[in-house]
Structure 1
Amino acid sequence: MVDMNVVSEFLTAAEAGDINALKGYLQQGVDINSQNKRKRTAILLAAMNDQLETVKFLIQEGADIDLQDQICLNPFLYGCINGKLELVKMMLQANTDLERLTRFGGVGIHPASEKGFVEVVRELVTTTDINVNHTNICGWTPLIEAILLNDGGEKQQEIVRLLVEHGADTQLVDQYGVTPLAMAREKGFTEIEKILLEAGAK
């Protein structure tokens, strides 16, 4: 049994991006997937601190990239939520599980669509088969989030365009039966309304 203090030091080294220290701890037998009280692993802590070389090292050493913490974060979902394109690409290359859910029951493209992270959304729709029509616990698809939870500006317009071009169903309604088109109209998002109408929305 490895001492908990050693595990704590291992996780701190991951946060700091100290790869040499991590190598030493792994040689001592520390479990690469050890978690702190918040269930955060070394690779998640490295990801959250932009230590991408350390993330790469831990992937090579066999870290479980899909383990989630108490609030459902793993490196891929953290990257999607925070617009970290390089991290997202790294996780996709390592075959991250695209079906892991956020604490709101969405897949990675939900928060990226909501928050206006165009490049992350583009990466996901063009290089993966992530479910662009997944419905979260609020009854929202990524398309609905892109309309409902942001300002309708150029980034959101581009995200709506990307989503409909890659299979987003414009007829999927929220839990109250409201369509994406009705939402766009209600918010006065005329550019998004146009994109939806061109995509055949009713």
Structure 2
Amino acid sequence: MADNQLVQSFLAAASEGDIAALQNYVAQGVDINARNKQKRTAILLAAMNDHYNAVEYLIEAGADIDLQDETCFNPFLYGCINGKLELVKLMVKAGTNLELLTRFGGVGITPACEKGHVEIVRELLTTTDINVNHTNFVGWTPLIEAIILNDGGERQQTIIKLLIEHGVNVNMVDKYGVTPLTLARQKGFKEIEQILLDAGAC
């Protein structure tokens, strides 16, 4: 089998979660960090298809867990964005780089806050030292994303309380100098407004 065919078969095995095939290709000397046209590695393909046993095998076999594809996905960021708690836990345990950015310039907790993934936010806040005040490319912190990019409901309220418990700066403004409290008021999110006020927001 030609090298390129071998790589394609290896990546297909990762997408399918076929550990025996992965082991066979690795034994044949396939580059464990080989990528497809979208720059996706085997471990990312396994992660995106929920094959966590294959993800664990590839971690043990020495895959680079932090390589990002053309849309900035790696297994950790993919898990944070898509609410995959088990995957996030796996990648944190494996020592993933918490400072790598999404295509919008956020760290992993940023999209998790935006999308209401409470359990992932809780996991990151309690088991890592991820930057809760990180500012993305458009000048938004995880707190600001949690306020303005969702519905202000219970999940968002819980996330905001968690962020406050873990040291978020409730007065850190966006790039226009607007505070989280003002943004909550603009959205009409009374419950979030009160949570911020109780935390000393002004």
Q: 1:58 maps to which residue?
A: 58
Matches within 5 A, 1:129-168: 129-168=129-168
Opposite residue 167 of structure 2, the aligned amino acid is: G
Mapped pair 1:197 → 2:190: no
CA distance in 2, matches of 1:130, 1:167: 11
- Residue aligned with 1:120, SS: helix
CA distance in 2, matches of 1:198, 1:34: 51
CA distance in 1, matches of 2:199, 2:61: 45
Matches within 5 A, 1:1-202: 3-202=3-202
CA distance in 2, matches of 1:59, 1:172: 37
How much has 1:8 moved relative to structure 2?
0.5
Q: Deviations over 1:126-156 (max 9, x none)?
A: 1110000000001000000000100000000
How much has 1:164 moved relative to structure 2?
1.0
How much has 1:167 moved relative to structure 2?
1.0
Structure 2 gaps of 5+ residues are none
Q: Deviations over 1:81-109 (max 9, x none)?
A: 00000000000000100000000010000
Opposite residue 130 of structure 1, the aligned amino acid is: I
TM-score when normalising by structure 2: 0.98
- Residue aligned with 2:43, SS: helix
Moved over 6 A (4+): none
TM-score when normalising by structure 1: 0.98
> Aligned pair count?
201
CA distance in 1, matches of 2:43, 2:172: 36
Opposite residue 13 of structure 2, the aligned amino acid is: A
Structure 1 gaps of 5+ residues are none
Say what the alpha-carbon RMSD is for the aligned residues: 0.7
Opposite residue 122 of structure 2, the aligned amino acid is: R
Identity in percent: 70
